[in-house]
């Protein structure tokens, strides 16, 4: 079993890395050529994904207790999985179809994820396990639907 101090050290290192990636993607320069617009949007999507992960990493040690560590692990797993599904699918589709990515589409995809992250986080923070389980099941169902939609989306744009 990993001791608590080793866990905290690794956790803070992970926080630093995800925060660095998020800020890096947010501020790295891409030339203003119109043809690179989709890449700039992908960069912002990646920045949002990494910055949200760093926020989750920031609150991880604060919320960690014996009573809710299983809930915390489930929460972090769902958040990371959902954001990475979004990130990788949209990046791949944008590389295939440069006109695919728009701010409206990004907002449409991230709104339910942000809502579920907020609800789950609030239930975890206020230690309401019964409601957390309900929201967690909703989040899991959304994640499964998200994966199916993203698979369909990718194959719709990928024409070999």
CA within 13 Å, CB half, 61: 14
Question: Nearest-CA neighbor of 131 among 140, 120, 141, 139?
Answer: 120
Q: List helix spans (H) across 28-128.
A: 37-63, 69-96, 103-125
What is the C-alpha to C-alpha distance for residues 47 and 24, in angstroms, rounded to an integer?
8
Q: Mapping DSSP to helix (H, G, I), strand (E, B) and coil, where does residue 31 land?
A: coil
Cβ pair 19, 47 in contact under 8 A:
no
Per residue in 24-60, pLDDT tens?
888 877 788 777 777 777 788 778 778 877 877 777 6
What is residue 99's predicted lDDT score, i.e. its pLDDT?
82
Per-residue confidence at 7, pLDDT binned at 50, 70, 90? low
What pTM was computed for the model? 0.63
Q: Is the pLDDT of residue 6 over 70?
A: no
Helix (H) / strand (E) containing 140: helix 129-157
Cβ pair 57, 80 in contact under 8 A:
no
Per residue in 88-143, pLDDT tens?
788 778 878 878 888 899 899 989 989 988 888 888 778 787 888 888 888 888 98
Per-residue confidence at 1, pLDDT binned at 50, 70, 90? very low
What is residue 2's predicted lDDT score, i.e. its pLDDT?
47
Angle value at C-alpha 104, between 155 and 20, nearest 5 degrees: 85
Retrieve residue 51's tokens: 């910055």
């Amino acid at each position: 079993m990993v001791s608590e101090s080793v866990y905290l050290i690794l956790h803070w290192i992970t926080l630093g890395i995800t925060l660095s990636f998020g800020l890096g993607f947010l501020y790295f320069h891409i030339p203003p050529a119109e043809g690179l617009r989709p890449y700039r949007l992908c960069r912002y999507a990646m920045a949002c994904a990494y910055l949200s992960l760093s926020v989750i990493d920031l609150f991880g040690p604060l919320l960690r207790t014996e009573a809710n560590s299983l809930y915390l692990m489930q929460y972090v797993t769902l958040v990371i999985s959902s954001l990475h599904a979004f990130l990788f699918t949209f990046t791949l589709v944008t590389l295939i179809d440069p006109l695919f990515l728009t701010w409206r589409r990004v907002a449409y995809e991230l709104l339910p994820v942000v809502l579920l992250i907020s609800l789950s986080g609030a239930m975890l923070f206020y230690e309401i396990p019964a409601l957390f389980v309900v929201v967690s099941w909703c989040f899991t169902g959304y994640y499964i639907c998200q994966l199916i939609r993203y698979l369909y989306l990718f194959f719709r744009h990928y024409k070999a």
